[in-house]
Amino acid sequence: MITNTLARMKLSNWVALVLIAAFAVAPLVAHGIGQPFYIVLISRIMIFAIAAIGVNLALGYVGMVSLGHALYIGIGAYAVAISLHYGFANGWAHLMIALVVGAAVAVPIGLVCLRTSGFGFVMITLAFSQMFFYLAVGLRQYGGDEGMPLPSRSSFLPLDAANGTTFYYMAFFVLMLVLFLLHRLIHARFGMVIRGCKLNEARMKALGFSTLRHKLVAYVISAEICVLAGVLLANLTRFATPSYLEWIMSGDLVVMTVLGGAGTLIGPLVGATVWVVLEELLASFYIDLPWNLSEFIRSNWIAALGIVIIIVTLTLKKGLYGFLVARDGGAR
């Protein structure tokens, strides 16, 4: 039976399975080759993937293009940093504080933003994110624009989050949990409604659905996923900075989502992986090329990354993983 199931698996499912399996064994390989740096690198990929999954719920399944989700990453990061600043180290409490504050901020912002649509929605989410960015810059007692170093990681007893490998698998568990819950959500009745809102909101209203309520719940869930990513990011870097809230971070998450494939479950994970790996490769690029091209690429790696993204966008309009999904007949 297992053999038959594997034989019927589509290419997109194989790619997802191989990618997740690679993440699961990455720390073992990193220790085996004596390169613990890769544990930190892939932890960073997974955290960005979690945030991109949150953006994907709003963008890919509801059609809400948000440039404000970095706000919620910042809330998660500062919830950890401020708590540790006052000597409060309980990580489970940090997580609850971050989620409660994130929901308290996301509900009113969502209600305001969802009164608009299209370009107006993009601009108002951007405005809210920048408001909180400048608020964080003005908090001099918490580092201001220089940010806050964390004295230690959060204490997630009985887990030892200070251990790099343990923290890696914590992030891996959160990533798998978010993917599982999102899969259940988008295939439930609620998911059908929000996808219907993306295709034809007027028709969903005519069928008697409260589209505003469904879109608000989707917005808040997507924000809370980004809060989770913020909690993990602060613990990974042991730092909280206003740049986590800046619109550039939101733009990066949107690009990761589109690069991998908006509206697909694994797309944000693929997009985050490609984005971070290319960033590392281009920033440290060295091949013996003529005319000092290696130095030029290292100095202008952002432009080189932009060229790659443009090529992918023009050739694979559904994204890297989205192309495979479309090729396999629309499997999620």
pLDDT tens column, 52-81: 999 999 998 998 888 889 999 999 999 999
Residue among 284, 260, 285 at smallest CA distance from 272: 260
Phi, psi of 104 (to 5 degrees): -65, -30
How does residue 94 score in pLDDT terms, banded at 50, 70 and 90?
A: very high
pLDDT at 288 over 70: no
Q: Of residues 224 and 141, which shows the higher confidence score?
A: 224
Q: What is the pLDDT of the chain when averaged over all its residues?
A: 87
CB neighbour list of residue 47: distance below 8 Å, 6 or more residues apart = 171, 229, 232, 233, 236
Rounded mean pLDDT, 225-247 = 93
Architecture label for domain 10-22+36-329: Orthogonal Bundle (1.10)
pLDDT at 231 over 90: yes
Residue among 191, 254, 206, 205 at smallest CA distance from 226: 254
How does residue 310 score in pLDDT terms, banded at 50, 70 and 90?
A: confident
Rounded mean pLDDT, 236-240 = 91
pTM above 0.85, yes or no: yes
For the chain, the domains span 10-22+36-329
Q: Quick check: bond before 158 cis, omega within 30?
A: yes
- Percent of the chain at pLDDT exceeding 90: 49
DSSP-derived letter for residue 36 is T
Cα gap 26→31, rounded to integer Å: 9
Max CA separation in the chain (angstroms) = 65
Rounded mean pLDDT, 123-139 = 90
CB neighbour list of residue 255: distance below 8 Å, 6 or more residues apart = 271, 275, 309
149 forms bridges with which residues in the sheet?
239
Q: Can you read off the two tokens belonging to residue 228?
A: 């989770």
Name residue 133's amino acid: F
Rounded mean pLDDT, 99-125 = 91
Rounded mean pLDDT, 158-179 = 92
